[in-house]
Amino acid sequence: MQEIHYISSEILDLATISEITRSQKKLELSEEAILNIKKSHAYLSNKIKDNDTPIYGINTGFGSLCNVKISSENLSKLQENLVMSHACGTGDYVPKPIVKLMLLLKIQSLGYGYSGVQLETVERLIDFYNHDILPVVYTQGSLGASGDLAPLAHLSLPLIGKGLVHVDGAIEASEAILKKHNWEPITLKAKEGLALLNGTQFMSAYGVHCLLKCHKLSYLADVISSVSIDAFNCNMSPYNALVHLVRPHRGQVKTAERILELLEGSEIGADENKMVQDPYSFRCIPQVHGATKDTILFTTKTFKTEINSVTDNPNIFVKEDQIISGGNFHGQPLALALDFLGIAMAELGNISERRTYQLVSGLRGLPDFLVNNPGLNSGFMIPQYTAASIVSQNKQLATPASVDSIVSSNGQEDHVSMGANAATKCLRIVDNLETILAIELMNASQALAFRAPKKSSPFIEAFLIGLREAVPFVKDDRLLADDIQGSLAYIQNMEIDSELIFQ
C-alpha cells in the first residue's frame, strides 16, 4: 500500500522530508489543512464582496502599481496575468528533485490557511506532486525578495494550462497533460496568483536539497579523512577528547569523537612510530570539519523555521479579521544562511584537497604520486590537479550573494536578498565537494594499500571493500577519470543511517 504524508501544522523537518522523498510517499491534505484553507478562502471572498477598499494584490496592481485599483470583474484576470507576466525565468532547468521539493513546500505553506487560496488550487498542486508532473522551472530570474517570483510563476503556470512540465522523462505542454488526466485548468480567484508567486519556495527547496547532501557529506568527510589519517600514518593524539573539552565547540568535539570511533582497532593507528606533529590538514580536522558541522546546524535551524512558515503576502488572519501586507517573502534569512553554508562546505573541500596533496607528495614512506615506478607512471599526479581546480572554483562560488542588492519595480522593491543566486551557487559548491571528496577517497585508498600488511580499523577496512571493487589498486597508469567517476558513484549511492547524518 502506498505510504501517505498528510499536510498539516505538524513540524516539517529534514528527516521527515528525507523520508517522504526516499519512500516516495504521496501527499494528502489533513482535515485540519482542508478546514484552514476553506476558512481563509471564504473569509477573503466575503471581505472583498462589494468592498472598494484597496487591498494590495487582491484588488490592486502589483509592485509599484500597488495604487492602481482593479475592478471586481477583472480580479481573476488580474491573477492569471500576474502568473503569465512573471514567468520570465532563464538559464538551466531546475533539477527535478528540487522542483518536487518546491511543490511540497508550497503546498505546506498554503496549507496553514493564511493565504486565501481555493482548496482546488492546493489539491491540483498535490495532483502534480503525486503524479510526478513537475513544472519546468528555470534557475535564473529570482531576486529573492517579493519571493521567488519568476521561478514560482513557472511552477504555477501548469495550474492554468500554460507552460511546460517534465513527465515520464520528457517535456510536454501542460495543456496536453491536463487533458490527458481530464483536469480543467484552475480559474484563479482573488489573491491566488500572488499567494502562489509570493513565497520563498525556490530558495527553500534548494536549501533543503543542499542540506540533505551537506549532512551526508559532512559525515563522509569524517570517514574519508579517517582513511587519509591512517594512510598518512598520523599521530592520533590530536583527537584526544582532553584537547577538545577545553575548547568545546559542538562540531569540534563531535568530529574528534567520530574519528576515534571510526579508527578504533586500527593497527596503523596503534603504531608508535609516528611524527610528533602532522600537517594542519590532518591535525586540525576536528576544528575545521567541526566548524562546518556547526554551520550546517545553524543553516538547518534557519530552514526548519522557513519551511514551516507562511511566506506569501498579504497574510490573511481570519480570527483577528485582518488582511496585512508585510514582507515575509524577503529571503534575507535564507540568503545569509545559504552563503554561510556555501563557505563552510567549500572549506571541507579545501582541506580535503590539502590531504590529497600530502598523500601524493612522496612523504612518510609512500611512493611519489602513490604508484610503483614513478616517472614511467604519473600515477595520482593529475587527480590532485583536478581537485585543486575544483577547490579554486568553489572559492570563487563562495563569494557571498547576499551582500548585493539591485533596485527593482520602480524603487518599490528597493532592497532584495539575492538569495536565489546564493541557493544555486551553494548547490554547485556542494556538488563540487562531492567530487573533491571522491578524489581524496581514491587517493587515500591507494595510499593505505602501501601500509600493508598493517591494517586500518575494522570499520575502515569494511568501508573500502565496496570502493576497491569499483576502483581497484592502480599498478600502472590507466584512465583515472573512470576511477574518479567510480569513487564518486560509490559516495553518491551510499545509504547512510539518518541517525548518523542528522545528529
Answer yes or no: 129 catalytic: no
- Cα separation, 383 vs 436, whole angstroms: 9
Q: What residues have CB less than 8 Å from 230, skipping those under 6 apart?
A: 263, 266, 268, 269, 448, 451, 456, 457, 460
Contacts 24+ apart (CB under 8 A), 316-319: 316/40, 316/43, 316/44, 316/113, 316/114, 316/115, 316/116, 317/114, 318/39, 318/40, 318/43, 318/113
Q: Is the dihedral of CA 176, 181, 187, 191 positive or negative?
A: negative
**Peptide bond before 453: cis, by omega within 30 degrees of 0?**
yes
Nearest Cα to Cα of residue 123 among 186, 67, 72: 186
- Cα separation, 480 vs 445, whole angstroms: 14
Beta-carbon-side half-sphere exposure of residue 153 (alpha carbons within 13 Å): 21
Phi-psi region of 268 (alpha: psi -120 to 50; beta: other; left: phi over 0): alpha
- For cell 596503523, the residue is 268
- Cα separation, 414 vs 329, whole angstroms: 14
Residue type for position 480: L
Whether 60 contacts 54, CB under 8 Å = yes
Nearest Cα to Cα of residue 136 among 93, 179, 101: 93
Complete DSSP assignment for 273-332? ---S---HHHHTHHHHHHHHHHHHHHHHHHHHHHHTS--SSSEEETTTTEEE---TT--H
- Cα separation, 493 vs 443, whole angstroms: 19
For residue 6, the cross-strand partners are 28
- For cell 506569501, the residue is 312
From the candidates 56, 114, 129, 219, which is the catalytic residue? 56
The cell for 309 is: 512558515
- Radius of gyration over every alpha carbon of the chain, rounded to an integer in angstroms: 26
Q: Is the dihedral of CA 248, 249, 253, 254 positive or negative?
A: positive
Q: What residues have CB less than 8 Å from 54, skipping those under 6 apart?
A: 60, 67, 69
What is the set of active-site residues? 56
